[in-house]
Amino acid sequence: DVKVTQSSRYLVKRTGEKVFLECVQDMDHENMFWYRQDPGLGLRLIYFSYDVKMKEKGDIPEGYSVSREKKERFSLILESASTNQTSMYLCATLPGWQGVYEQYFGPGTRLTVT
Protein backbone atom coordinates (compact mmCIF):
# COMPACT_ATOMS: atom_id res chain seq x y z
CA ASP A 1 0.00 0.00 0.00
CA VAL A 2 1.08 3.51 -0.74
CA LYS A 3 1.79 5.46 2.37
CA VAL A 4 1.84 9.25 2.51
CA THR A 5 2.79 10.69 5.86
CA GLN A 6 2.72 14.27 7.10
CA SER A 7 4.95 15.45 9.89
CA SER A 8 2.21 16.74 12.20
CA ARG A 9 -1.54 16.24 12.56
CA TYR A 10 -1.99 19.47 14.50
CA LEU A 11 0.22 22.55 14.62
CA VAL A 12 -0.14 25.90 16.34
CA LYS A 13 2.13 28.76 15.30
CA ARG A 14 2.32 32.47 15.91
CA THR A 15 1.92 35.19 13.30
CA GLY A 16 5.23 35.90 11.57
CA GLU A 17 6.82 32.53 12.31
CA LYS A 18 8.37 30.46 9.55
CA VAL A 19 6.51 27.18 9.29
CA PHE A 20 7.61 23.91 7.66
CA LEU A 21 5.14 21.20 6.73
CA GLU A 22 6.74 17.94 5.67
CA CYS A 23 5.32 15.20 3.48
CA VAL A 24 6.99 11.85 2.83
CA GLN A 25 5.87 9.07 0.47
CA ASP A 26 7.18 5.55 0.20
CA MET A 27 6.11 4.49 -3.29
CA ASP A 28 8.45 6.31 -5.66
CA HIS A 29 5.70 8.47 -7.17
CA GLU A 30 6.85 11.19 -9.56
CA ASN A 31 4.31 13.84 -8.67
CA MET A 32 3.55 15.43 -5.32
CA PHE A 33 1.02 18.11 -4.39
CA TRP A 34 0.14 20.48 -1.58
CA TYR A 35 -3.50 21.55 -1.11
CA ARG A 36 -5.30 23.55 1.50
CA GLN A 37 -8.85 22.70 2.46
CA ASP A 38 -11.27 25.28 3.82
CA PRO A 39 -15.02 25.02 4.50
CA GLY A 40 -17.05 26.00 1.46
CA LEU A 41 -13.97 26.29 -0.75
CA GLY A 42 -13.04 22.64 -1.17
CA LEU A 43 -9.45 21.76 -2.06
CA ARG A 44 -7.25 24.44 -3.51
CA LEU A 45 -3.89 23.61 -5.06
CA ILE A 46 -0.94 25.55 -3.65
CA TYR A 47 2.02 23.97 -5.44
CA PHE A 48 2.93 20.72 -7.10
CA SER A 49 6.14 19.03 -8.17
CA TYR A 50 6.68 16.57 -11.01
CA ASP A 51 10.30 15.77 -10.26
CA VAL A 52 13.11 16.44 -7.82
CA LYS A 53 13.91 20.16 -7.66
CA MET A 54 11.01 20.92 -10.00
CA LYS A 55 7.93 22.84 -8.88
CA GLU A 56 4.89 24.44 -10.41
CA LYS A 57 2.56 27.04 -8.92
CA GLY A 58 -0.99 26.03 -8.31
CA ASP A 59 -4.00 28.28 -7.85
CA ILE A 60 -2.96 29.98 -4.59
CA PRO A 61 0.84 30.05 -4.24
CA GLU A 62 1.09 33.47 -2.60
CA GLY A 63 2.66 33.33 0.84
CA TYR A 64 3.98 29.80 0.31
CA SER A 65 7.07 28.15 -1.10
CA VAL A 66 8.06 24.51 -1.55
CA SER A 67 11.14 22.34 -1.61
CA ARG A 68 11.75 18.95 -3.15
CA GLU A 69 15.34 17.90 -2.65
CA LYS A 70 14.60 14.16 -2.65
CA LYS A 71 11.96 12.29 -4.59
CA GLU A 72 10.15 11.02 -1.50
CA ARG A 73 9.93 14.32 0.37
CA PHE A 74 7.97 17.46 -0.48
CA SER A 75 8.00 20.36 1.96
CA LEU A 76 5.63 23.30 2.18
CA ILE A 77 7.03 26.47 3.70
CA LEU A 78 5.10 29.41 5.07
CA GLU A 79 7.71 32.14 5.04
CA SER A 80 5.87 34.37 7.52
CA ALA A 81 2.71 32.78 8.83
CA SER A 82 -0.47 34.84 8.90
CA THR A 83 -3.86 34.15 10.45
CA ASN A 84 -5.45 33.71 7.01
CA GLN A 85 -3.21 30.67 6.54
CA THR A 86 -5.06 28.84 9.30
CA SER A 87 -6.34 25.79 7.44
CA MET A 88 -6.13 22.06 6.85
CA TYR A 89 -3.15 21.21 4.63
CA LEU A 90 -3.19 18.02 2.59
CA CYS A 91 -0.29 16.42 0.76
CA ALA A 92 -0.92 14.05 -2.14
CA THR A 93 1.04 11.96 -4.62
CA LEU A 94 0.29 10.78 -8.16
CA PRO A 95 2.17 7.97 -9.95
CA GLY A 96 1.66 9.49 -13.40
CA TRP A 97 -0.67 11.77 -15.31
CA GLN A 98 -2.53 9.07 -17.25
CA GLY A 99 -6.14 8.94 -16.13
CA VAL A 100 -5.94 5.40 -14.77
CA TYR A 101 -4.00 6.74 -11.79
CA GLU A 102 -5.56 8.21 -8.68
CA GLN A 103 -4.02 10.50 -6.11
CA TYR A 104 -2.95 9.25 -2.69
CA PHE A 105 -3.44 11.60 0.22
CA GLY A 106 -1.80 12.03 3.57
CA PRO A 107 -3.89 12.43 6.75
CA GLY A 108 -3.59 16.21 6.75
CA THR A 109 -2.09 18.84 9.04
CA ARG A 110 -4.46 21.21 10.76
CA LEU A 111 -2.53 24.45 11.17
CA THR A 112 -3.69 27.24 13.44
CA VAL A 113 -1.91 30.59 13.26
CA THR A 114 -2.58 32.86 16.22
Partner 1 sequence: GDSVTQMEGPVTLSEEAFLTINCTYTATGYPSLFWYVQYPGEGLQLLLKATKADDKGSNKGFEATYRKETTSFHLEKGSVQVSDSAVYFCALNGNRDDKIIFGKGTRLHILP
**With binding defined as CB under 8 A, does residue 100 bind partner 1?**
yes
Cα 103 to the center of its chain, rounded Å: 13
Other CB atoms within 10 Å distance of the CB of residue 49 = 20
Q: Which of 19, 90, 111, 113 binds partner 1 (CB under 8 A)?
A: 90
- C-alpha torsion 51→85→87→113, nearest 10: 120
Smallest gap, in angstroms, from Cβ of residue 45 to partner 1? Answer: 5
Sole binder of partner 1 in the list 7, 11, 58, 95 (CB under 8 A): 58
Rule CB under 8 A: choose which of 53, 69, 84, 98 binds partner 1.
98
Q: What is 25-85 written as a DSSP string?
A: ESS--SEEEEEEEETTTEEEEEEEESSTT--EE-S--TTEEEEEEETTEEEEEESS--GGG
**Residue 1 binds partner 1 (CB under 8 A):** no
Indicate the residue among 11 and 43 with the shorter CB distance to partner 1. 43
Among positions 12-41, residues that touch partner 1 (CB under 8 A) are 33, 40-41
For residue 10, the number of C-alpha atoms closer than 13 Å in the C-beta half-sphere is 0
Residue 103 is a binding residue for partner 1 (CB under 8 A): yes
Binding site for partner 1 (CB under 8 A): 4, 33, 40-43, 45, 48, 50, 58, 90, 92, 94, 97-103, 105-108
